[in-house]
Structure 1
């Protein structure tokens, strides 16, 4: 059994996304606001192809750590892909789609997680 905590998974996924040049990687803590999970990770890609590549990178990276998503939604369109890892839910957006849905604004009460990402 893999012993990563939810916050360790958040940092691992953020690093995976950063390595694939995701834009504006954000993590918010939602555990006190909803039963959906503990954290949202939100990131953008500049094309549907990049969004799909980001999704693939997260899936491959999490699989290598011993975690499989409960479900993946939106992969075909590449406009908004959701990967559900129970405690963490990863939202990967095409840039304009992210602006339209503005999850960060909808979840403005959720505290941001400080991510240490290397350039």
Structure 2
């Protein structure tokens, strides 16, 4: 079991990175919203890769006893949202990420340097 939300964020980051997720962004939305503490956003160049990333995140978190609370977009595989309560993971096809531009929408949320996450 992971002891802190920061350890979970790192686990998610590594699971995304293992499946070659592109431009991984970790936003600390908890500083500006009560919706979640962190948004983790990534993209992929194919629908198959979007699915692979989502499956890997779910598998890796399940290994440490965490189950997804909500899941959206799995059928279309253009934008999959995995809701873990304090952490929301957005896995986009490249075109959808550019269109929805969550980083701009949540521009007031500070970016987290994963290497310095405590």
Query: How would you bin the TM-score normalised by the shorter chain?
Result: over 0.9
The Cα of 1:3 is off from its aligned counterpart by 4.2
Q: Find the aligned partners of 1:11 and 1:89 in 2 and give their Cα distance.
A: 13
Query: Paired residue for 1:106?
Result: 105
- How many residue pairs end up in the alignment? 115
**Contact 2:25–2:41 under 8 Å retained in 1:** yes
Runs of 5+ consecutive residues of structure 1 not aligned to the other structure: none
Moved over 4 A (4+): none
Query: Paired residue for 1:88?
Result: 87
Q: TM-score, normalised by structure 2?
A: 0.94
Runs of 5+ consecutive residues of structure 2 not aligned to the other structure: none
RMSD: 0.9
Q: TM-score, normalised by structure 1?
A: 0.93
What pairs up with 1:1-119 in 2 under 5 angstroms?
2-116=1-115
Name the one with the larger helix percent.
Answer: 2
